[in-house]
Chain A
Amino acid sequence: MDWEAVVGLEIHAQLATRSKIFSGAATAYGAEANVQACAIDLGLPGVLPVINVEAIRMAIVFGLAIEAEIPEQSIFARKNYFYPDLPKGYQISQYELPIVSHGRIGITLENGTTRTIGITRAHLEEDAGKSLHEGFGNFTGIDLNRAGTPLIEIVSEPDLRSAREAALYMRKIHTLVRYLEICDGNMQEGSFRCDANVSVRPRGRKEFGTRTETKNLNSFRFVEQAINYEIGRQIDVLESGGTVVQETRLFDPDKNETRPMRTKEEANDYRYFPDPDLLPVKIDRELIEAARKQMPELPDAKRDRFSRDYGLSGYDSDYLTTSRELADYFEQAVRAAGGEAKLCTNWIMGELGAALNRDNMEIAVCPVTAGMLGGLIRRIRDNTISGRIAKEVFEAMWNGEGDADTIIEKKGLRLLTDSGEIESMVDDVLAANPEQVKQYCESPEDRRAKLIGYFVGRVMKQSGGRADPRQVNDMLLRKLERG
Chain B
Amino acid sequence: MHQKTLAELARALHAGEISSVELTRLFLERCESKNALLNCFITLTPEHALRQAISADGKIRNGTAGPLTGLPLAHKDIFCTRDIRTSCGSKMLDSFISPYDATVVARLNDAGMVTLGKTNMDEFAMGSSNETSFYGSAKNPWDRERVPGGSSGGSAAAVAAGLAPAATGTDTGGSIRQPASLCGITGLKPTYGRVSRYGMVAFASSLDQGGPLARTAEDAAMLLNVMAGFDERDSTSVDAPAEDFTRGLDDSVEGLKIGLPAEFFGERLDGGVGGIILAAVKELEKLGARTREIALPNSRLSIPVYYVVAPAECSSNLARYDGVRYGYRCSDPKDLADLYFRSRGEGFGREVKRRIMTGTYVLSAGYYDAYYLKAQRVRRLIRDEFRSALDKVDVIIGPTAPGPAFRLKELVDDPIRMYLSDIYTVPVNLAGLPAVSIPAGFIGGLPVGMQITGDYFAESRLLNVAHRFQQVTDWHRQVPPEFT
Chain A residues engaging chain B, CB cutoff 8 angstroms: 39, 42-51, 78, 80, 82, 84, 87-90, 142, 269, 271-273, 276-279
Known contacts A48-B233, A49-B235: does B325 contact A43 (CB below 8 Å)?
Answer: yes
21 contacts between A and B (CB under 8 A): A43-B325, A44-B99, A45-B98, A45-B201, A45-B320, A46-B197, A46-B200, A46-B201, A47-B198, A48-B236, A49-B235, A80-B316, A88-B319, A90-B316, A271-B360, A271-B368, A273-B312, A273-B372, A276-B205, A276-B236, A276-B313
By the criterion CB–CB under 8 Å, are B99 and A45 in contact?
Answer: no
A269 and B326 alpha carbons, distance in the complex (Å): 26
By the criterion CB–CB under 8 Å, are A39 and B100 in contact?
Answer: yes
Please name the residue on chain A nearest to B336 by beta carbon: A84
A80 and B365 alpha carbons, distance in the complex (Å): 12
7 cross-chain pairs, A with B, having the tightest CB-CB distances, nearest first: A89-B319, A271-B363, A276-B205, A276-B206, A46-B199, A43-B320, A45-B201
Please name the residue on chain A nearest to B101 by beta carbon: A46
Q: Which residues of A contact B233 (CB under 8 A)?
A: 48, 50
Q: Which residues of B contact A42 (CB under 8 A)?
A: 325
Please name the residue on chain B nearest to A273 by beta carbon: B363
Please tell me the size bucket of the interface on B: 35 or more
A125 and B326 alpha carbons, distance in the complex (Å): 25
Give the residue of B204, B232, B313, B326 whose beta carbon is less than 8 angstroms from that of A44. Answer: B326
By the criterion CB–CB under 8 Å, are B368 and A273 in contact?
Answer: yes
A51 and B117 alpha carbons, distance in the complex (Å): 34
Give the residue among B199, B236, B319, B372 with the most A Cβ atoms within 10 A: B319
By the criterion CB–CB under 8 Å, are A269 and B320 in contact?
Answer: no
Known contacts A47-B198, A89-B322: does B100 contact A279 (CB below 8 Å)?
Answer: no
Q: Is B406 an interface residue (CB 8 A)?
A: no
Please name the residue on chain A nearest to B205 by beta carbon: A276
A387 and B233 alpha carbons, distance in the complex (Å): 64
A44 and B318 alpha carbons, distance in the complex (Å): 11
Separation in Å of the B278 CB from the closest CB of chain A? 37
Q: Which residues of B contact A46 (CB under 8 A)?
A: 79-80, 86, 98, 102, 197-202
By the criterion CB–CB under 8 Å, are A82 and B340 in contact?
Answer: yes
Q: Which residues of A contact B93 (CB under 8 A)?
A: 45
Known contacts A80-B316, A88-B319, A278-B235: does B364 contact A45 (CB below 8 Å)?
Answer: no
By the criterion CB–CB under 8 Å, are B316 and A50 in contact?
Answer: no
By the criterion CB–CB under 8 Å, are B80 and A48 in contact?
Answer: no
Please name the residue on chain B nearest to A24 by beta carbon: B233
Separation in Å of the B252 CB from the closest CB of chain A? 37
Separation in Å of the B331 CB from the closest CB of chain A? 15
Beyond the given A80-B363, A89-B319, could you list 20 further A-B residue pairs with CB under 8 A, ordered by the A residue number? A45-B80, A45-B86, A45-B93, A45-B96, A46-B199, A46-B202, A50-B233, A50-B235, A78-B316, A80-B319, A82-B322, A142-B325, A269-B364, A271-B363, A271-B365, A276-B205, A276-B206, A277-B202, A277-B236, A279-B235
By the criterion CB–CB under 8 Å, are B365 and A277 in contact?
Answer: no
Q: Which residues of A contact B200 (CB under 8 A)?
A: 46
By the criterion CB–CB under 8 Å, are B316 and A89 in contact?
Answer: yes
Please name the residue on chain A nearest to B318 by beta carbon: A89
Separation in Å of the B225 CB from the closest CB of chain A? 23
Separation in Å of the A73 CB from the closest CB of chain B? 14
By the criterion CB–CB under 8 Å, are A89 and B102 in contact?
Answer: no
Q: Is B324 an interface residue (CB 8 A)?
A: yes
Q: Which residues of A contact B363 (CB under 8 A)?
A: 80, 271-273
Known contacts A45-B86, A82-B340, A269-B365: does B372 contact A277 (CB below 8 Å)?
Answer: no
By the criterion CB–CB under 8 Å, are A271 and B316 in contact?
Answer: yes
Q: Which residues of B contact A269 (CB under 8 A)?
A: 364-365
Separation in Å of the B192 CB from the closest CB of chain A? 10
By the criterion CB–CB under 8 Å, are A48 and B235 in contact?
Answer: yes
List B residues 266-306 near A (Cβ within 8 Å): none
Separation in Å of the A33 CB from the closest CB of chain B? 13
List B residues 198-221 near A (Cβ within 8 Å): 198-202, 204-206
- CB-defined interface of B310-350 with A at 8 Å, one 1/0 digit per residue? 00110110111010111000000000100010000000000
A89 and B360 alpha carbons, distance in the complex (Å): 13
A43 and B360 alpha carbons, distance in the complex (Å): 20
Q: Is B88 an interface residue (CB 8 A)?
A: yes
Please name the residue on chain A nearest to B365 by beta carbon: A269
A252 and B218 alpha carbons, distance in the complex (Å): 69
By the criterion CB–CB under 8 Å, are A44 and B98 in contact?
Answer: yes
Separation in Å of the A391 CB from the closest CB of chain B? 59
Q: Which residues of A contact B236 (CB under 8 A)?
A: 48, 276-279
Please name the residue on chain A nearest to B363 by beta carbon: A271
Q: Which residues of A contact B100 (CB under 8 A)?
A: 39, 44
A89 and B341 alpha carbons, distance in the complex (Å): 14
Give the residue among B93, B199, B232 with the most A Cβ atoms within 10 A: B199
Q: Is B474 an interface residue (CB 8 A)?
A: no
Q: Which residues of B contact A51 (CB under 8 A)?
A: 235
Known contacts A48-B198, A271-B363: does B205 contact A277 (CB below 8 Å)?
Answer: yes
Q: Which residues of A contact B316 (CB under 8 A)?
A: 78, 80, 89-90, 271, 273
Q: Which residues of B contact A84 (CB under 8 A)?
A: 322, 324, 336
Q: Is B251 an interface residue (CB 8 A)?
A: no
Q: Which residues of B contact A48 (CB under 8 A)?
A: 197-198, 233-236
Separation in Å of the B115 CB from the closest CB of chain A? 16
Give the residue among A51, A80, A276, A279 with the most B Cβ atoms within 10 A: A276
Please name the residue on chain A nearest to B344 by beta carbon: A82
Separation in Å of the B452 CB from the closest CB of chain A? 27
Give the residue among B201, B234, B235, B312 with the most A Cβ atoms within 10 A: B235
Q: Which residues of B contact A44 (CB under 8 A)?
A: 80, 98-100, 326
Q: Which residues of A contact B315 (CB under 8 A)?
A: 80, 271
Separation in Å of the B418 CB from the closest CB of chain A? 24
List B residues 356-413 near A (Cβ within 8 Å): 360, 363-365, 368, 372
Separation in Å of the B186 CB from the closest CB of chain A? 26
A214 and B226 alpha carbons, distance in the complex (Å): 54
Q: Which residues of B contact A90 (CB under 8 A)?
A: 316, 319
Give the residue among B204, B234, B324 with the most A Cβ atoms within 10 A: B324
Q: Which residues of A contact B198 (CB under 8 A)?
A: 46-48
Q: Which residues of B contact A277 (CB under 8 A)?
A: 202, 205, 235-236
Separation in Å of the A88 CB from the closest CB of chain B? 5
Q: Which residues of A contact B98 (CB under 8 A)?
A: 44-46
Please name the residue on chain B nearest to A43 by beta carbon: B320
Give the residue among A90, A271, A272 with the most B Cβ atoms within 10 A: A271
By the criterion CB–CB under 8 Å, are A271 and B364 in contact?
Answer: yes
By the criterion CB–CB under 8 Å, are B235 and A142 in contact?
Answer: no
Separation in Å of the B144 CB from the closest CB of chain A? 31
Please name the residue on chain B nearest to A270 by beta carbon: B365
Please name the residue on chain B nearest to A50 by beta carbon: B235
Q: Which residues of A contact B88 (CB under 8 A)?
A: 45
A42 and B98 alpha carbons, distance in the complex (Å): 12
List B residues 78-104 near A (Cβ within 8 Å): 79-80, 86, 88, 93, 96, 98-100, 102
By the criterion CB–CB under 8 Å, are B312 and A87 in contact?
Answer: no
A271 and B359 alpha carbons, distance in the complex (Å): 10
By the criterion CB–CB under 8 Å, are B99 and A39 in contact?
Answer: yes
Q: Which residues of A contact B340 (CB under 8 A)?
A: 82
A189 and B98 alpha carbons, distance in the complex (Å): 33
A239 and B318 alpha carbons, distance in the complex (Å): 48
Please name the residue on chain B nearest to A79 by beta carbon: B316
A476 and B243 alpha carbons, distance in the complex (Å): 101
A94 and B302 alpha carbons, distance in the complex (Å): 29
Q: Which residues of B contact A279 (CB under 8 A)?
A: 235-236
A395 and B134 alpha carbons, distance in the complex (Å): 75
Please name the residue on chain A nearest to B79 by beta carbon: A46
By the criterion CB–CB under 8 Å, are B324 and A142 in contact?
Answer: yes
A278 and B313 alpha carbons, distance in the complex (Å): 13
Q: Which residues of B contact A47 (CB under 8 A)?
A: 198-199
Separation in Å of the A175 CB from the closest CB of chain B? 35
Q: Which residues of A contact B99 (CB under 8 A)?
A: 39, 44
Give the residue of A80, A87, A273 whose beta carbon is less than 8 angstroms from that of B325. Answer: A87
Known contacts A49-B235, A276-B205: does B320 contact A88 (CB below 8 Å)?
Answer: yes
Give the residue among B93, B197, B199, B316 with the most A Cβ atoms within 10 A: B316
